[in-house]
Amino acid sequence: MMVDKMYGVMDSACEKASNVTGKSIKFPRPSKRALQISALTNGLVGVGFTLFGVLSPYKWIILLGALGLINSFIVFRQTK
């Protein structure tokens, strides 16, 4: 999965930084519930931005809403 690869990269970066600084540095891993809440929140904000963009003269906000919805979908897929 994409998230597991990201964790591996961050863990190796934290390990290198730990060796250089002499301090213990750990990359936090969110729980499945935290990822689900994040996906839900991103989806709600994405819908809100999309609706605001459609109803207002600021059409560029639709792009922000679409990005939020895409992010929500990706995070939700990673929790399965």
Q: Which domain holds residue 63?
A: 32-80
pLDDT score for 1: 62
Is the pLDDT at 8 greater than 90, yes or no? no
pLDDT score for 29: 82
Domain membership of residue 10 (yes or no) is no
Cβ neighbourhood burial of 4 (10 Å; 0-12, 13-18, 19+): exposed
Tally of domains in the chain: 1
Domain membership of residue 72 (yes or no) is yes
Domain membership of residue 16 (yes or no) is no
Considering only CA atoms, which of 29, 68, 31 is closest in space to residue 48?
Answer: 68
Domain membership of residue 41 (yes or no) is yes
Once rounded to an integer, what is the mean pLDDT over residues 70-74?
A: 91
Domain membership of residue 55 (yes or no) is yes
pLDDT score for 6: 81
Domain membership of residue 19 (yes or no) is no
Q: How far apart are CA 34 and CA 36, in angstroms?
A: 5
Domain membership of residue 70 (yes or no) is yes
pLDDT digits (tens, 9 = 90+) for 11-53: 888 888 888 888 888 888 888 898 899 999 999 999 999 999 9
